[in-house]
Amino acid sequence: NKVCWCVISEAEELKCLDLASNATARNIRGTLECVRGANTQDCISKIKNGTADAASMSADDIYAAGLCHGLELAAGESYNAIDGTSYYVVALARRSSAGLSLLEMHERSSCHPGIRTTVGWTVPIGYLVNTSQISVDEQCNFPRAVGDFFGYSCVPGVKDPQHDPRGNNPKNLCEACIGDENDRHICVNNHRERHYGEAGALRCVAENLGDVAFVKHTTVFDNMDGKNQESWALDMEVEDLKLLCPDGSEAGPEEFAHCHLAAVPTNAVVVRPDDRCRVWKFLERLENAFGNATASFHMYSSLAYGEPDLMFSDSTHHLQRVISSYTSWLGPSYTTVLKAFECEGERTTPKRFKEDMLLSGTFFFFFPEGQ
């Protein structure tokens, strides 16, 4: 009954170890072990080869894990008490910003949680391509197209060797990044870059370094009203912000249901197909003990570890068992967004090359099931 959970940061490993020790202290059947991966792609490989059993991943990584490695899902995050198995990607701006419109973003500044993330890259860039605001060259160089479109941005990780092996990605995609307190680690794909992640993208807008932040609809409410004790968050209220809608209009942050770029399936726990039932039953036992916010240890809170969304999204209300395939979980609305990343002629590209490009984040293609 051992479940090995793949973690990708020191903070996430610490939370995993705390959850494991709390589970042991409560005599919960089964053992949680924590396995360190270099990144999400490494965790996918570890789950595939059996050195790890599970990890919670975003929609983009679920797609890669299923398409390239035959992995499936055991459980999905729900963000409300009923069935919140999707979230909205929104474009967030300061209410005081005048003349902003999602239909006229050329030369504006943007804040993204990170390169090759569902919220910060796939959905907003897919929207801009699908609305013909961004045109991609025949080499399918999306970072170059995005750099040519925005005046400047913060896209953490865009200059990392994994995503920019030749060092050619535009420098202006890092100009709104600030690094750590000592001005180091600027634009890196982790929390040492203070504009990394959804809270970081919101901070980027709060500090007037970006006109628009692409985040989950829950990001504002997760960081306001004292939930985030950093000074930039304490100085801002929900009323100071607005949403930019796809039709060019504006709305309040609470109006996300009709003012959003896309509805995206929530994060879900990736496993080998044969382990779906075993991992689900173990997670169910953990949730019964630690899923309540009043529990001595809360498995859906990362406040004690200095980084958000560790192991699970902090917005998680409960886990929902996934019985259908990963493609059903992702749904047609999300996979339609991916079509913006198709490149002419790639349907005949060898499978190994498809996999390398998909996991590298250099390009992101959509292939019909079975190809």
**Mean pLDDT for the stretch of residues 270-297:** 95
171-228 per-position pLDDT tens digit: 999 999 999 999 999 999 988 999 999 999 999 999 999 999 999 998 998 898 888 8
Per-residue confidence (pLDDT) for residue 354, from 0 to 100: 42
Three-state DSSP class for residue 30 = coil
Q: Which CATH number fits domain 86-263: 3.30.470.10, 3.40.190.10, 1.20.272.10, 1.20.1440.230?
A: 3.40.190.10
Q: Cα–Cα distance between 280 and 273 in angstroms, integer?
A: 12
86-263 matches 2-79+266-323 in CATH topology = yes
Query: Average pLDDT of the chain?
Result: 88
Percentage of residues of the chain with pLDDT beyond 70: 91
Buried b (16+ CB within 10 A) or exposed e, 277-289: ebbbebbebbbeb
User: For position 84, what pLDDT does the model report?
Assistant: 61
The predicted model gives 301-315 an average pLDDT of: 91
Instruction: Give Dmax over CA atoms of the chain in angstroms.
Output: 58
Q: What is the strand order of the sheet 55-57 is part of?
A: 55-57, 268-271, 72-78, 318-321
pLDDT value at residue 80: 74
Task: Identify the H or E element spanning 111.
Answer: strand 109-111
Q: Rounded to an integer, what distance in angstroms lies between the CA atom of residue 356 and that of residue 193? A: 27
Mean pLDDT score, 112-126: 93
- CA-to-CA distance for 113 and 309, rounded, in angstroms? 13
The CATH H-level superfamily of 2-79+266-323 is Periplasmic binding protein-like II (3.40.190.10)
Query: Domain segments of the chain: what residues?
Result: 2-79+266-323, 86-263
CB atoms within 10 A of CB 66: 21
Where do runs of H (alpha helix) occur along 97-187? 123-130, 142-149
Residue from 251, 236, 338, 321 nearest 283 by CA: 321
The CB-side HSE value for 266 (13 A sphere, CA atoms) comes to: 27
